[in-house]
């Protein structure tokens, strides 16, 4: 069993209110800011983050060092810390926001210093209204202690950070949607190219959008040093500690901190205490609702970005949704699909029309009114959406859950259609094995089921 970590989940304020800046400082807090600003040059800091091997924690697992290096050489530049956490099954940012507000502020200060940024925002999901207040207070305290404002720690570095309450839609978390929202517009994601935030972002200027956990980790990297940080996890799966949120049918739902080598089985059965009522596992979504589902046979995978990618799934947000034998996979997919249909921003045709259409079809199947041709139709609609949308939403969570839950749990969907009612098959009969995916038409673009990958390669 991999050992649980206590880095991001450590309590530096030793039981005091997490927002208490004095307690935080007494526990070593703002040491990373002092170290970075006082003893490191901008270039050294960027190199340190590069060397740490950290991948961003927003979901895509993109190398943070690389993102920083891509930032266009134009000023002013801006920082947006992304705290819009709305992906179903994900709640790790919320924990950090509640327990480590100052560590997030530290990470933001260091990032801004490293990249020559003097103005940053933390975009917090609107529904987190208590957190928004707490974060405002944290920024005010940081300002009073001289960590924000003009000439921070007598280094000549000026920085202002502001909280921006989110506009109440999942799409506000997509980095260009977030930027539009910050500018006061509807959060319609922008076209990439040309609107890569690091090139043309907020107010048309180069902008770094990083997840809030990534921000907290930046402080950790500076604290520990890249050398030590790199020892945790692996480059391919991501270095550093990861926060995994377990929810659904486990005995002890919650956030667990491990390195990325921990397996899904360990997380479910050891960390979270196993399945409720000791039921059998039916399926598990390993990284937020968008992440393709894994069957009980696939849970010995390590939880790294690389390892899950090889399995045709993804690391995503680390929000793990566990479903036991009582779960109807038609219900589960309908739930995911309803979320996607509700949250599609509506800007582009394939997602606006295709995602709700699939939702209608799935609801019909759930109601026992599914037709023979519906499953192929669903796959065809997936194909028509995939790779044709403005932003990634159309695929994740638009297409991927449908594609993967439907393909893998095909027998259960077939049974519902044949018997004209909602049917929950016994676990072993409910899903296909990879060598049985063959009748499924492949998708264009970069995302394939594992069996298709093999096909494509062979």
Partner 1 sequence: MATITIDDRQYTVEEGRNLIDAAADLGIDIPHFCYHPGLAPDGNCRMCLTEMEIRPGQFGIVTSCTIRIKDGMNFRFNSPAVLDNRKGIMEFLLINHPLDCPWCDQAGECKLQDHSFDHGRGHSRFVETKRVPPKKDLGPHITLYTTRCILCQRCTRFCDEITGTSELGVVQMGSKSEIATFEGVPLDNKMSANVADICPVGALVTKDFLYKPRIWHYEKVNTLCPGCATGCNTTLEVLHQKIYRTRPRHNEAVNGHWMCDEGRFCYHDWQDADRLQSPLKRVDGELRQVTWPDAMDAAVSGIRSVLDGEGDSAMGVVGSSMATNEENYLLSKLGKEAFGSSTTGLNRKPDGEAWTSKSGFRIAADKAPNSRGAGDMLGADSLDDILRGIGDGTIRGLYVLGGDIGQTLPPEVAEAFGKLDFLVVHDVRLSDLADLADVVFPGAIPFEKNGTMTNAQGRVQRLNPAFPQAGGAREDGAILGYVGQRMGIEMGGTDPAEILEEISGRVEGYGGLTYDLVGDQGVMKGGEEPSEAAGG
Ligand X SMILES: Cc1cc2nc3c(=O)[nH]c(=O)nc-3n(C[C@H](O)[C@H](O)[C@H](O)COP(=O)(O)O)c2cc1C
Footprint on this chain of partner 1 (rule: CB under 8 A): 169, 186, 188, 191, 193-194, 341-350, 352-357, 360-361, 364, 371, 377, 383-385, 387-390, 444
Binding positions for ligand SF4, 121-180, rule CB under 6 A: 171
8 A C-beta contact, residue 153 and residue 34? yes
Q: Which lies closer to ligand X via its Cβ, residue 79 or residue 379?
A: 79
Q: For residues 430 and 295, what is the distance between their CA atoms, to the nearest angstrom?
A: 10
108 lies in the site for ligand X, by CB under 6 A: no
Binding segment for ligand X (CB under 6 A), chosen from 103-111, 209-217, 352-360, 373-381, is 209-217
Q: Which lies closer to partner 1 via its Cβ, residue 53 or residue 398?
A: 398
387 binds, among partner 1, ligand X, ligand SF4, none (CB under 5 to 8 A by kind): partner 1
58 lies in the site for ligand X, by CB under 6 A: yes
Residue 246, CB-side half-sphere exposure with 13 Å CA sphere: 26
Least Cβ distance, residue 169 to partner 1 (angstroms)? 7
Helices (H) and strands (E) in the chain, counts: 20, 11
**CA angle at residue 50 from 45 to 54, to 5 degrees?**
115
Least Cβ distance, residue 402 to ligand X (angstroms)? 16
DSSP codes joined into one string, 126-154? TT-HHHHHHHHHHHHHHHHTTSSEEEETT
8 A C-beta contact, residue 430 and residue 388? no
Q: Which lies closer to partner 1 via its Cβ, residue 12 or residue 173?
A: 173
68 lies in the site for ligand SF4, by CB under 6 A: no
Among 29, 56, 318, 354, binds ligand X (CB under 6 A): 56
199 lies in the site for ligand X, by CB under 6 A: no
337 lies in the site for ligand SF4, by CB under 6 A: no
Q: Which lies closer to ligand SF4 via its Cβ, residue 171 or residue 215?
A: 171
Least Cβ distance, residue 443 to ligand SF4 (angstroms)? 16
Among 16, 31, 62, 422, binds ligand X (CB under 6 A): 62
Tokens read off for 280: 């059998």
393 lies in the site for ligand SF4, by CB under 6 A: yes
Least Cβ distance, residue 455 to partner 1 (angstroms)? 18
319 lies in the site for ligand X, by CB under 6 A: no
Alpha helix segments (H runs only) across 345-437: 349-366, 374-385, 400-401, 407-408, 410-419, 427-430
Least Cβ distance, residue 61 to partner 1 (angstroms)? 22
Phi first, then psi, for residue 409 (nearest 5°) are -105, 30
Least Cβ distance, residue 390 to ligand X (angstroms)? 10
**CA angle at residue 105 from 239 to 260, to 5 degrees?**
15
* Residues contacting 30, CB < 8 A, separation 6+: 24, 102, 106, 145, 147
82 binds, among ligand SF4, partner 1, ligand X, none (CB under 5 to 8 A by kind): ligand X
For residue 139, CA distances in Å to 85, 108, 383 come to 20, 11, 46
Least Cβ distance, residue 125 to ligand X (angstroms)? 7
Sheet containing 149-152: order of strands: 149-152, 157-165, 119-124, 78-83, 207-211
175 binds, among partner 1, ligand X, ligand SF4, none (CB under 5 to 8 A by kind): ligand X
8 A C-beta contact, residue 259 and residue 5? yes
Least Cβ distance, residue 66 to partner 1 (angstroms)? 19
Write the binding mask 72 to 101 for ligand X: x where contact by CB under 6 A, - elsewhere: ----------x-xxx---------------
Q: For residues 147 and 141, what is the distance between their CA atoms, to the nearest angstrom?
A: 9
Q: For residues 79 and 179, what is the distance between their CA atoms, to the nearest angstrom?
A: 10
- In Å, how far from its chain's centre is CA 421? 35
Q: Which lies closer to ligand X via its Cβ, residue 85 or residue 259?
A: 85
Among 115, 209, 289, 449, binds ligand X (CB under 6 A): 209
352 lies in the site for ligand SF4, by CB under 6 A: yes
For residue 36, CA distances in Å to 102, 107, 129, 337, 436 come to 16, 10, 31, 45, 54
375 lies in the site for ligand SF4, by CB under 6 A: no
382 lies in the site for ligand SF4, by CB under 6 A: no
Q: Which lies closer to ligand X via its Cβ, residue 174 or residue 266?
A: 174
Q: Angle at which helices 349-366 and 374-385 pack, to 10 degrees? A: 160
Q: Which residues bind ligand SF4 (CB under 6 A)?
A: 171, 189, 344-348, 351-352, 389-391, 393-394
Q: Which residues bind ligand X (CB under 6 A)?
A: 56-60, 62, 64, 67, 82, 84-86, 170-171, 173-175, 209-211, 214, 391-393
């Amino acid at each position: 069993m991999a050992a649980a970590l206590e880095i991001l989940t450590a309590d530096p304020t030793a039981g005091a209110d997490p927002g208490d800046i004095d307690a935080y400082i007494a526990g070593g807090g703002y040491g990373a800011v002092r170290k970075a600003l006082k003893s490191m040059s901008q270039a050294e800091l960027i190199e340190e983050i590069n060397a740490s091997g950290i991948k961003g924690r927003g979901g895509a697992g993109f190398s943070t060092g690389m993102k920083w290096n891509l930032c266009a050489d134009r000023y002013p530049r801006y920082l947006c810390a992304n705290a819009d956490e709305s992906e179903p099954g994900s709640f790790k940012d919320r924990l950090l926001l509640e327990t480590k507000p100052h560590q997030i502020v530290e990470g933001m200060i260091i990032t801004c210093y490293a990249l020559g940024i003097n103005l940053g925002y933390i975009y917090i999901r609107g529904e987190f209204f208590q957190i928004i207040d707490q974060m405002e207070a944290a920024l005010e305290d940081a300002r009073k202690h001289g960590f924000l404002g003009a000439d921070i720690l007598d280094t000549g570095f000026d920085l202002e950070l502001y909280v921006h309450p989110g506009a109440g839609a999942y799409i506000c978390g997509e980095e260009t949607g977030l930027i539009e929202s910050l500018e006061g517009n509807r959060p319609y994601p922008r076209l990439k190219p040309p609107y890569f935030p690091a090139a043309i972002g907020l107010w048309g200027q180069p902008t770094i959008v990083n997840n809030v956990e990534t921000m907290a980790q930046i402080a950790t990297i500076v604290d520990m040093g890249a050398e030590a940080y790199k020892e945790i996890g692996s480059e391919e799966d991501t270095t550093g500690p990861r926060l995994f949120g377990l929810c659904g049918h486990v005995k002890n739902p919650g956030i667990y901190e491990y390195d990325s080598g921990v397996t899904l089985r360990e997380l479910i059965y050891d960390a979270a205490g196993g399945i409720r009522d000791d039921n059998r596992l039916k399926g598990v979504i390993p990284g937020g609702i968008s992440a393709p589902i894994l069957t009980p046979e696939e849970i010995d995978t390590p939880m790294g970005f690389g390892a899950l990618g090889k399995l045709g799934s993804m690391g995503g947000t680390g929000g793990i949704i566990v479903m036991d034998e009582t779960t109807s996979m038609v219900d589960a997919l309908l739930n995911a699909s309803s979320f996607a249909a509700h949250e599609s921003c509506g800007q582009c045709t394939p997602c606006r029309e295709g995602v709700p259409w699939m939702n209608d079809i799935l609801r019909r199947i759930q109601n026992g009114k599914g037709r023979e041709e519906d499953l192929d139709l669903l796959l065809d609609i997936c194909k028509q959406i995939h790779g044709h949308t403005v932003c990634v939403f159309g695929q994740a969570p638009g297409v991927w859950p449908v594609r993967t839950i439907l393909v893998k749990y095909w027998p259960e969907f077939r049974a519902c259609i044949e018997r004209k009612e909602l049917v929950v098959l016994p676990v072993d009969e409910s899903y296909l094995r990879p060598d049985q995916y063959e009748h499924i038409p492949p998708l264009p673009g970069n995302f394939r089921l594992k069996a298709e990958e093999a096909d494509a390669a062979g």
